[in-house]
Amino acid sequence: MAFKEYGSYDGIGLAELVRKRQVSPKELLDEAIARTAKVDPQINAVVVKHYDYAERQIDKGLADGPFTGVPFLLKDLDILEGTRTTFGASIYKDDVADHTGTLAGRFLRAGVTIFGKSASPEFGLMPTTESRLHGPTRNPWNLAHSSGGSSGGAAAAVAARILPVAHASDGGGSIRIPASASGVFGLKPTRARNPLGPDRGEGWSGFSCGHVVSISVRDSAAMLDAVQGPEPSSPYVAPPPARPYLEEVGRDPGRLRIAFTDKSPYGDAIDPEIAAATREIAALLSGFGHHVEERAPALAADPAAVMSTIVSANTALNVRIAEARFGRAMTERDFEILTLASAYNGQKATATDYVAAQLAAFQISRALAAFFETCDVLLCPTLCSPPLRVGELNTMAQDLSHIGPVLRRYMPATSMFNMSGQPAMSVPLAWNRAGLPLGMMFAARFGDEATLLRLAAQLERERPWKAKLPPICA
């Protein structure tokens, strides 16, 4: 194999080369490591490197799966026995896992070679990836900008072609935000489609889920086939698919009823280039023969207020766990100011406040379910402004009042689909005049990843993005 062509293959393509013995898993691992050495000093995407673990995997024999031999990164919020997971926090900088998460185990069964952990902000709290512990992860398209978050390391590594597919997770947009900012494909599956155990049954009151970001639609579909399904501790399950998701890629999506909006759900003005790109994609979909009309769901409650309560309660628990483990109060030496402030808010809130936030999330979910009775898909911008500049969100500032307005302007539409549990994806369909990616978000009914994957494949054929490479790959 000519390794200069490595970056043109998706995960399924690399696995096919392994099956045909045209390349070995060790050669693929060596290429991923070489690419990490070349570009990671510029983007800072791979913050934990455990190449020895990957080499031992290969020596012992990889599982026979759809991605056998494909290099892979776990997000630095998930655990893999015998390897470091820092959660982006100083207090955990040397923490080594004593067991493996269920989803990570399923990735291993899919045959991937896990050679490290990708960067995340502390506890995955921010839509940029700039932890104090590891420093900022930079956007491969423009190093002055963020790659997004919280799966910013994964998206940057895939965009820079260190590897074709990487683990990501999404509690309020953390797959779709970095997919948009970094110009890759990112699908947030239906709630409970993929497991979160064995240490928890759900994350962030059911808002959080794990999957991947990828170069291609088919990689996302094939990985969903490989890892989806409940585990014994699952508190609830997603509706089973009608057929393997990989079979949906290339299937005729039919004539879909697509609603679209180029506005923020709060009614705020958005970046004009993003608004224009949204309308352009709506026109493209109409040209495919879909029924497209401009309308949007009304917010039944404020998603930002819901997220604040739910996330702060979970952050307070994370800090309490650390205090119990280390036997002392946590300070700014241990966690960022934002994390401690969020934990304080969670401690101050009452159980009634938490239940009220859950009720508000249900009201949002109910309104969305009613809206999707009259359409199959909603199109809107993934982000309402271009990728943030590095440093625009400062989690170590004594005054954190700048963060709320930035979040409202930047990513107002992503979290509502975490609350409803609906599948949603960011598709890299546009770039602005400055050369930064502008992802388009599509959401479908609960349990209907199939429609999204069919539509994504249709768009991928019409507007292929795999060959579009950031300057860092030159």
Rounded Cα gap, residues 163 and 116, in angstroms: 12
| Angle formed by the axes of helices 449-462 and 272-287, nearest 10° | 100
Q: Judge whether residue 227 has pLDDT over 60.
A: yes
Say if strands 46-49 and 130-131 run parallel, antiparallel, or are unpaired: unpaired
Q: Is the distance from CB of 246 to CB of 454 less than 8 angstroms? A: no
Phi and psi based region of residue 187 (left: phi greater than 0; alpha: psi -120 to 50; beta: remaining):
beta
Query: What are the backbone dihedrals phi and psi of residue 406, each rounded to the nearest 5 degrees, phi first?
Result: -65, -45
In angstroms, what CA-CA distances link 448 with 187, 242, 297, 388? 12, 10, 18, 31
Distance CA(458)–CA(462), nearest Å, equals 6
CB 249 within 8 A of CB 216: no
The enclosing H or E element of 318 equals helix 303-326
Strands lying side by side in the sheet with 209-214: 165-170, 209-214, 185-188, 424-431, 437-444, 377-381, 257-260, 291-294
* pTM tops 0.95, yes or no: yes
Quick one: pLDDT at residue 269? 87
CA-to-CA separations, 437 to 22, 92, 265, in angstroms, rounded: 34, 33, 21
The CA distance from 140 to 43, in Å, is: 7
> Which residues on neighbouring strands pair with residue 257, listed in sequence order?
291
pLDDT tens-place string over residues 334-359: 999 999 999 999 999 999 999 999 99
Nearest-angstrom CA–CA distance, 381 and 426: 9
CA–CA dist 150, 173 (Å, integer):
8
Residue 1's pLDDT is 44
Residues with catalytic function: 75, 150, 174
Degrees to nearest 5, angle at CA 109 with 65 and 57: 100
Q: What percent of the chain is predicted at pLDDT more than 90?
A: 99
Stretch (H or E) spanning 48: strand 46-49
pLDDT by residue (tens digit) across 435-474? 999 999 999 999 999 999 999 999 999 999 999 999 999 8
For the record, the structure tokens of 25 come out as 């898993």
pLDDT at 474: 81
pLDDT digits (tens, 9 = 90+) for 30-68: 999 999 999 999 999 999 999 999 999 999 999 999 999
Inter-CA distances, 407 with 137, 177, 192, 384, Å:
18, 11, 26, 10
How many CA within 13 A on the CB side of residue 91?
23
Which amino acid is it at 174?
S
Average pLDDT, the chain: 97
Tens digits of residue pLDDT in 399-414: 999 999 999 999 999 9
Q: What is the pLDDT of residue 363?
A: 98
Answer whether residue 266 shows pLDDT above 70. Answer: yes
